[in-house]
Amino acid sequence: MRILKIQTLRGPNYWSIRRHKLIVMRLDLETLAETPSNEIPGFYEGLVEALPSLEGHYCSPGCHGGFLMRVREGTMMGHIVEHVALELQELAGMHVGFGRTRETATPGIYQVVIEYLNEEAGRYAGRAAVRLCQSIVDRGRYPKAELEQDIQDLKDLWRDASLGPSTEAIVKEAEKRGIPWMQLSARFLIQLGYGVNHKRMQATMTDKTGILGVELACDKEATKRILAASGVPVPRGTVINFLDDLEEAIEYVGGYPIVIKPLDGNHGRGITIDIRSWEEAEAAYEAARQVSRSIIVERYYVGRDHRVLVVDGKVVAVAERVPAHVIGNGRSTIAELIEEINQDPNRGDGHDKVLTKIELDRTSYQLLERAGFTLNSVPPKGTICYLRATANLSTGGTAVDKTDEIHPENVWLAQRVVKIIGLDIAGLDIVTTDISRPLRELDGVIVEVNAAPGFRMHVAPSQGIPRNVAGAVMDMLFPNEQSGRIPILSVTGTNGKTTTTRLLAHIYKQTGKVVGYTTTDGTYIGDYLVESGDNTGPQSAHVILQDPTVEVAVLETARGGILRSGLGFESANVGVVLNVAADHLGIGDIDTIDQLANLKSVVAESVYPDGYAVLNADDRRVAAMAEKTKANIAYFTMNPDSELVRKHIQKGGVAAVYENGYLSIVKGDWTHRIERAEQIPLTMGGRAPFMIANALAASLAAFVQNVSIEQIRAGLRTFRASVSQTPGRMNLFNLGNYHALVDYAHNPASYEAVGAFVRNWTSGQRIGVVGGPGDRRDEDFVTLGKLAAEIFDYIIVKEDDDTRGRPRGSASELITKGITQVKPDARYESILDETQAINKGLDMAPANGLVVILPESVSRAIKLIKLRGLVKEEIQQQ
Ligand code: ATP
Ligand code: ATP
Ligand code: MG
Ligand code: MG
C-alpha cells in the first residue's frame, strides 16, 4: 500500500457539508488491490489482536461487531484503513466517528476519508493506520510497543494543539451562539466573528481591555495605592529593594506574621506567606528576588483565598481556592498520597487541564515541618496536610464555587474596584475568613487585581456548580444576540464566476458598504487590490473575513479550493451557482459532470437556512441543487417561459428573468424591471447572452440581500468589463477597419458562450485563434474543435506555451480532428506558437471582420493587439 496524497479539509466539502474536519487520503492498494481481507491469511486475527476495540465499530451491518464481521467476510483494505485511523484517534482520546472510503476511477486507488479533531493527529492517524494494516498483512501482527508509541504521539499532538481551558471555554460558547471563530497566525489570538463585526481575544483579554488597566493591575504596589486612596481595604505593606530595609519594613507592617512577594510576579511564583521568623523572612526575600528586583513586604491576613471574577462590570463567579493538600487515610504516606492525587486524569501540567499536578517546593517542606510531618509520615485518617502556602491552581490547588455565597456588599466592592482599575475582565484575589460577610467586618483584604484571569476554576471547579463565565464575555462582546458575522455571498459555477463576483461586488458598492472580494485575478477590498493571484480558495476567503474594514464579503469559490481544503467559511448568506459544464474533468478524482455538480453544490448546500441559494433554472444540474439545500431558493433564467420558474413564483418564490429585452426581478404578481440589457455595458449591447445570465445572477443575489432595484440598476449601468477591470473577459478592441476580441474561454461551455456573441457578428468574417490547456482530456479538445468549426469562418489552431505534460502537437491534432469531423471542408491551419498564431490572425483580418483570440496569456495577446497602432478599446458603448 502506498499513500499518494493526504489532504486536510477545514470547511464544508465534497464529502460532507456538516463535518468540516476531514482528512482525505489517496491510497494505492498496490498488490492488495485484488485481495479482500478474508483472502489474507491471519489478517482478521492479527487485526483483532492489535485493536480489539474495533469490536465497537458498527459499520454497514449496523450492530456491535459489525465492522469486524465485514473484515472476516472480506472487505477492501482502504475501508479497513479508514476504521483503523478512526480507532487510533479514539484510543488517544479524540472522539471521531465519520469516515468514507471510495474507489476512484483508477482501479486499486482509493480515497479514504477520516474525521479528525486535530489536523496533525488526523494525518498521523491516517499514516499509522496504513503502517498498522501493512504490518499485519506482512507479518500477521503489529508490535504492541509501536501501537503504544502511536497512541502516545497522538495524545501529545492533541495536547499540544489544545487551546487552554479559558480559550476553550470561550470558543465553545461562541460555537454555541453560532459565532464563527478562527485562530490567527500569531500570539494565540482568537478572532470571533467576521470582518467589521469581529472581536479579538487573547486568553481572557479582549480587544476592549485597556492597556492602562492591564499595566496597573500588573503593578501590585500601584494597584494597592490607587485602591487604598479610594478607601478599599488592601494589605498594609511596603516595597523594598535591599535586604537592609527588610527589618524596618517588617516593623512598618506591624511585625510577624508577614508575606513577602515579588513586585511583579504571578501564578504564586516567589511568594512566601505566613512568615513568622527572621530566618524565614530572609529566605523568603531571596526567593522573591529570583523573580523580581523589588520586593513587597505585607502583613499576613488570615483567611481563605477567593477569586472573584468580574466581567463587564458585574461579578459573574466566585471561587474559593484551596491550596494543594492531601487528606490522610491512616494507611498511606504523604508521598504516596501525592502520587495518588497526581494520577487524577483531570490534573495536567501547567494550565493544560482543569487542575494541575502537585509539585513540592521550599514552602512545602516548611509547612510539613510545622505540622510535624515528613514525606514519609502516615497522617491519621481525615487529617488535612497542606503542601503549598498559596492557593493558585497552577501550584496544585483546587477550587470550590462560592458564587451564590458572596455578600452583596462584597459584590458592590468588587465591581467598584474593577472600575477603579479599569478592566473589562478582571479577577480579584480576596483574602477573608468568610466571603458571605462584608470584608470590613472581618478585616478581609483585596490582595490583588488580575488582568487576563484564568477561567478554569469557574468553569470546572473541583466542587460546586460550574459557571458559564464565557457566556458573560460573549454577552459583553456580542450584546443582543449579535452573531458577529457579515454577509457572505459565495459564487461558483464552471464559467462566469469572476465576472459575476466582480459585478456583484460592484453592485453592492452602490450601497456604500465596504466590499471585500476574491477572484481568480486577486483579492480586493473596496477599490483596491490587496493581493494578486488566483485567490479562489479558503485562504483568500480568510483574508477578507479577517479584515476589520470589510462589511460584505463576495467570494469567488472555485472547484479547486473546495476539493483541496473545503470552503473557507461555515455558511454563506447567499450561494450562487451559475452553471455546471464539462471542465477539469479527470482532475482530482472528479471524473463525471455529475460529480462536478455535487462538488459545486457544496456552495448551495452550505447556505444558512434563512439565506438564499441563487440557482440557474436553465441548467438542469444546477436547478436540481434546490432539492439538496435547506436555504431559500431564488432562480434566474434567460427563458421567460420557464415552467420551473413559473411554478416557483406561484409558490411565492423570487426570480430574475430576462424578458422582452429587460433584466427583471419577478416576485408574486409583480415584475420589477431593473434595466434593458442594451443599457448594460457588460452584455455588449445585449449581444452576449451569457453575460446577461451572469448579470441576472448578480442582480438576484444582491436583491435577496435587500439591495434596492435602484442600486442594482446603478451597478449594472456603471460596471464596465474593460481590460483593466476584467482582463480576458470579452475584451473587444477596435482596430480601425476590424475588431479583435480577447477572451479566456477554454472549455466547451465558454466556447459556446463566446460563440453566441460571435454569431451575432454579421458585418464581416470571423477568425478564431483557438486552443486549450493541456491537462484536459483528449475528448475535450475534439469538442473544442467541433465548436470552433461551427463558430468561425477561419480557424488558427495554436497551443499553450505550457503544455501541462501533453506532447507538443497533440492538442492541436485533436482540435483539428474535431474541426474536420463536423466540417470536412473547414478552412483552418495550425500554428503552434501562440504569438505567431495571434499575429497571423491579425494580419489576415478582413474588413469589418472580427478576430477572436482565446489565448493562454491574456496580457501578451493584448500587447500584440496594441502593437498594431491606434487601438480603441471599444467596449459596451450604449
Ligand atoms: P496570581 O496572579 O496567580 O493570583 P500572584 O503570584 O499574583 O498570584 P498574589 O495574588 O499576590 O500572587 O498572591 C498569591 C496568593 O497568596 C493570594 O491569592 C493569597 O492567597 C496569598 N496572599 C498574598 N498576599 C497575602 C497577604 N498579604 N495575606 C494573606 N495571604 C496573602
Ligand atoms: P475561471 O474558472 O477561469 O476562474 P470563471 O468562472 O471565473 O473562470 P470568468 O473569468 O468570469 O469565469 O469568465 C471566463 C470566460 O468564461 C468568459 O470570458 C467567457 O468566455 C465564459 N463565460 C463567462 N460567463 C459565462 C456563462 N455564464 N456561461 C458560459 N460561459 C461563460
Ligand atoms: Mg493572585
Ligand atoms: Mg475566475
What is the per-residue pLDDT across 811-858, written as a single tens digit (0 to 9) for each? Answer: 999 999 999 999 999 999 999 999 999 999 999 999 999 999 999 988
Q: Torsions phi, psi of 393, nearest 5?
A: -60, -35
**Average of per-residue pLDDT across 708-737:** 86
Give the pLDDT of residue 182: 93
Q: State the residue for C-alpha cell 475535450.
A: 780
Model confidence at 23: pLDDT above 70: yes
Residue 252 is placed in which grid cell? 512598618
Greater confidence (747 vs 181) lies with 181
pLDDT in tens, 212-244: 999 999 988 999 999 999 999 999 999 999 999
- 210 backbone dihedrals φ, ψ, rounded to 5°: -80, 140
Which of these ranges, 185-194, 602-611, 620-629, has the smallest mean pLDDT? Answer: 185-194
Helices (H), 494-566: 497-509, 538-545, 559-565
725, pLDDT greater than 80: no
Taking the CA of 388 as reference, the closest ligand is 1
Cβ contact 586:781 at 8 Å: no
261 CB less than 6 Å from ligand 1? yes
- Please say whether the beta carbons of 608 and 571 come within 8 A: yes
**Which of 33-37, 313-317, 383-387, 718-722 shows the lowest per-residue confidence on average (mean pLDDT)?**
718-722
> φ, ψ for residue 195 (rounded to 5)?
50, -140
Model pLDDT for residues 405-455, shown as the tens digit of each residue: 999 999 999 999 999 999 999 999 999 999 999 999 999 999 999 999 999
- Crossing angle (nearest 10°) for helices 858-866 and 834-843: 40
Distance, CA 107 to ligand 2 centroid (Å)? Answer: 33
- Confidence band, pLDDT 50/70/90 cuts, at residue 111: very high
**Burial of 376 per CB tally in 10 Å (0-12, 13-18, 19+):** exposed
> Dihedrals φ, ψ of 767, to 5°?
-110, 135
Out of 617-621, 712-716, 762-766, least confident range:
762-766
Provide the pLDDT confidence category of residue 874 given band limits of 50, 70 and 90. Answer: low
Looking at 59-63, 147-151, 308-312, which range is the least confident one?
A: 59-63
Q: How would residue 877 be classed by pLDDT, with cut points 50, 70 and 90? A: very low
Q: Which atom of ligand 2 is nearest to the CA of 500?
A: 11
End-to-end CA distance of the chain, in Å?
A: 63
Mean pLDDT of 246-269: 90
Mean pLDDT in residue range 557-568: 92
Percent of the chain with pLDDT over 70: 98
Q: Which distant-in-sequence residues (6+ apart) come within 8 Å of 853 by Cβ?
A: 740, 741, 742, 743, 769, 838, 841, 861, 865
Q: Write the DSSP string, 196-243.
A: GG-EEEETTEETTS-HHHHHHHH-HHHHHHHHHHTT-----EEEESSG
Set of cell numbers at residue 203: 486568553
Q: Looking at residues 590-604, what average pLDDT do you find? A: 93
- How does strand 766-770 pair with strand 205-206? unpaired
Q: How confident is the model at residue 749 (pLDDT cuts 50, 70, 90)?
A: confident
What are the cell numbers at 384?
Answer: 488535612
Sheet holding 445-451, edge to edge: 398-401, 314-322, 304-311, 425-432, 445-451
Taking the C-alpha atoms of residue 510 and residue 498, their distance in angstroms, rounded to an integer, is 19
Q: Does any ligand 1 atom lie closer than 6 A to the CB of residue 450?
A: yes
Distance 520 CA to ligand 4 centre (A): 4
Closest-CA residue to 364 (of 431, 290, 268): 268
pLDDT interval class at 86 (50, 70, 90): very high
Model ipTM?
0.89
Minimum-distance ligand 2 atom for the alpha carbon of 534? 4
CA of 557 to the centre of ligand 4 (A): 8
Distance 312 CA to ligand 1 centre (A): 24
- Bridge-based pairing state of the strands 794-797 and 766-770: parallel
How many CA atoms, within 13 angstroms, populate the side-chain half-sphere of residue 795?
A: 27
Q: Which amino acid is at 552?
A: V
pLDDT digit string, tens, across residues 160-207:
888 888 999 999 999 999 999 999 988 889 999 999 999 999 999 999
Question: CB of 397 within 8 A of CB of 461?
Answer: no
For residue range 69-82, list pLDDT tens digits in order. Answer: 999 999 999 999 99
Pairing mode, strands 528-532 and 522-525 = antiparallel
* Confidence grade of residue 340 (pLDDT, cut at 50, 70, 90): very high
Atom of ligand 2 nearest to the CA of 730: 18
**Cα-flanking dihedrals φ and ψ of residue 383, to 5°?**
-75, 130
Using CA positions, which residue lies closest to atom 10 of ligand 2?
A: 498
> Residue type at 755?
G
Query: Which of 271, 428, 442 best tests ligand 1's pocket when mutated (most atoms within 8 Å of CB)?
Result: 271
Of 478 and 389, the one with more pLDDT: 478
- Among 854, 823, 668, residue whose Cα is nearest residue 752: 854
